[in-house]
Amino acid sequence: MSRLQADHLYKVFGRRPDEAVRRLVDGADREELRAEGTTAAVVDAGFVVEPGQIFVVMGLSGSGKSTLLRMLNGLLEPTAGRVLFDGDDLTALSPRDLRAVRSRRISMVFQHFALFPHRNVLENAAYGLEVQGVPRAERETRAAEALALCGLAGWEKSWPDELSGGMQQRVGLARALATDADLLLMDESFSALDPLIRRDMQDQLLVLQKQLKKTIVFITHDLNEAMRLGDRIAVMRDGRIVQLGTAEDILVRPADDYVASFIQDVDRSRVLTASAVMAAGAPAADCPEDCSCRPVGPDTLVADLCAIAAGAPHPVTVEDTDGTVLGVVSPERLLGVMGGLGTHDTAVKDVTTKGVEDRRAATKDLGAEDASTQDSGAQGSDTENAGIEKSGAQTSGRTSVTKGGDGAENASAKNASAKNGREVTAGA
């Protein structure tokens, strides 16, 4: 059974949201609704997250990614669709039952962490456990362990106003980790950290994941971060998921020019592995007795392969754990892959030839979204914040939508106007 499933989720703010959903299902454009005072923040989003996965949702500001996250734990009521958590429909729970699920089984980390100024760092990190009724000695021990994991050992008795912004954010992360929840939702959790600290936090998250096998939904606007952390990645644009797959899938087979524009600056050597670039089925390379070169595994990064191939007089052999030869990687193939020419025998779109046009298009989209933030998103944001202040799960009515196929896998990437509706975000 999957841990989390989004089933044809829609979130519409403004007048007649149910009617807006029906129009979207019939093919209406997001901009048409916006002109009428309605914001379609999320449109037909669907995906499955398996236990122990890090599922990353990546998109620019205004793409709908944070609004989607808030529907996953019931802070926002979907206009249509369902959220299934271990098979239970969260959208059908009473406000009381939903709060119980959120307090014990789901932890959420926002970009800006609301720490209690009258509590010290340890007490803030232990707050979630306090809500659960965990005895003081136990919760302080667990909170101290989480703080140490986040690099804050020794700061337990400090006050929030004595910490830098990055340190305050790490206290919020420690608070979420201390509860040992089944599902961890992270909304741009590392975005405000300094680059070196941010990478260190990514490393710590990956180490934690190897130990605890948490199910994590991670929101980011940074494709490099998405590809470093995500077992699977959903790319969002204009409220829709336009591509869903692994980091390698997205890097070598972008769904459209919009996705291709993002991968221009991605370090391919840190994403692609030997299994993606090898000549599959080729015989093992002849290795002289005095050669120090050894076979590599299929998960070896291209960055490491380049170093090995540079000193090898022959192609590098790729072997499985049982010694079975899977293929070979030649220096020529590595050069071709690093240049975006292809992997295996499948030609990959050479985005370099269109790099300038694609980059301009992406920049135009970002600029338009930022501009639209100033004049078109207030209504949706106020609606969302009001809903959260009341209960986090007030029922506003959901429209039943039936549509063939898995929502995200079959979502069409529409070429929408550059002026997108603002993504609605909730204060933590």
What confidence tens digit (pLDDT) does each residue in 18-37 have?
999 999 999 998 989 999 89
Q: Mark whether 32 and 137 lie in a shared domain.
A: yes
244 forms bridges with which residues in the sheet? 234
Q: Mark whether 188 and 319 lie in a shared domain.
A: no
pLDDT band at 421 (very low <50, low <70, confident <90, very high): very low
The verdict on residue 411 lying in a domain is no
- Picking from 412, 113, 16, the residue whose alpha carbon sits closest to that of residue 239 is 412
Total of domains in the chain: 2
What confidence tens digit (pLDDT) does each residue in 167-223 have?
888 898 899 989 989 999 999 888 877 788 788 888 878 887 888 788 999 999 998
Q: Mark whether 18 and 79 lie in a shared domain.
A: yes
What CA–CA distance (Å, rounded) separates 385 from 425? Answer: 8
What is the span of the domain harbouring residue 58?
A: 4-255+365-390
> 274: how many CB neighbours lie within 10 A of its CB?
26
CA distances from 21 to 92, 239, 412, 415 (A): 19, 13, 16, 19
pLDDT band at 402 (very low <50, low <70, confident <90, very high): very low
The verdict on residue 422 lying in a domain is no
The verdict on residue 36 lying in a domain is yes
pLDDT at 374 exceeding the cut of 80:
no
Helix-then-strand count for the chain, H and E:
17, 15
The verdict on residue 401 lying in a domain is no
Q: Which amino acid is at 276?
A: A
CATH code where residue 123 lies: 3.40.50.300
Find the mean pLDDT for residues 95-105: 91
Q: Mark whether 287 and 224 lie in a shared domain.
A: no
pLDDT at site 292:
54
pLDDT at site 426:
37
Alpha carbon 347 to chain centroid, angstroms: 27
Q: Mark whether 195 and 323 lie in a shared domain.
A: no
pLDDT at 368 exceeding the cut of 60:
no
Under a CB-based contact definition with an 8 Å cutoff, are residues 235 and 58 in contact? yes
Q: Mark whether 189 and 309 lie in a shared domain.
A: no
Find the mean pLDDT for residues 336-341: 66
The verdict on residue 120 lying in a domain is yes
Under a CB-based contact definition with an 8 Å cutoff, are residues 53 and 231 in contact? yes
What CA–CA distance (Å, rounded) separates 343 from 276? Answer: 6
The verdict on residue 263 lying in a domain is no
Sheet holding 88-89, edge to edge: 39-49, 4-13, 80-85, 88-89
DSSP string, 310-352: HT-SSPEEEE-TTS-EEEEE-HHHHHHHHTTSEETTEE---GG
Find the mean pLDDT for residues 3-21: 95
Q: Mark whether 283 and 234 lie in a shared domain.
A: no
Q: Which is more confidently placed, 338 or 87?
A: 87
Q: Would the CA dihedral through 399, 387, 240, 46 be positive or negative?
A: negative
pLDDT at 303 exceeding the cut of 90:
no
Q: Mark whether 202 and 310 lie in a shared domain.
A: no
- Angle (CA) 349 231 200, round 5°: 105
DSSP string, 29-96: -HHHHHHTT-EEEEEEEEEEE-TT-EEEEEE-TTSSHHHHHHHHTTSS--SEEEEEETTEEGGGS-HH
The verdict on residue 349 lying in a domain is no
Would you call 230 exposed, middle or buried from its count of C-beta atoms within 10 A (0-12, 13-18, 19+)? buried
What confidence tens digit (pLDDT) does each residue in 107-165 have?
988 777 678 999 999 999 999 999 889 999 999 999 999 999 888 999 999 999 999 87
Q: Which is more confidently placed, 359 or 65?
A: 65
- Phi, psi at residue 342, to the nearest 5°? 160, 170
What CA–CA distance (Å, rounded) separates 73 from 100? Answer: 11
Q: Mark whether 61 and 187 lie in a shared domain.
A: yes
pLDDT at 416 exceeding the cut of 80:
no
Q: Mark whether 221 and 338 lie in a shared domain.
A: no
The verdict on residue 261 lying in a domain is no
What confidence tens digit (pLDDT) does each residue in 25-78 have?
999 989 899 998 999 999 999 999 999 999 999 999 899 999 999 999 899 999
Q: Mark whether 182 and 311 lie in a shared domain.
A: no
pLDDT band at 356 (very low <50, low <70, confident <90, very high): very low
Q: Mark whether 22 and 58 lie in a shared domain.
A: yes
- Picking from 193, 275, 259, 184, the residue whose alpha carbon sits closest to that of residue 227 is 259
Q: Would the CA dihedral through 135, 140, 145, 151 be positive or negative?
A: positive
- The region of weakest confidence among 257-261, 333-337, 360-364 is 360-364
pLDDT at site 341:
52
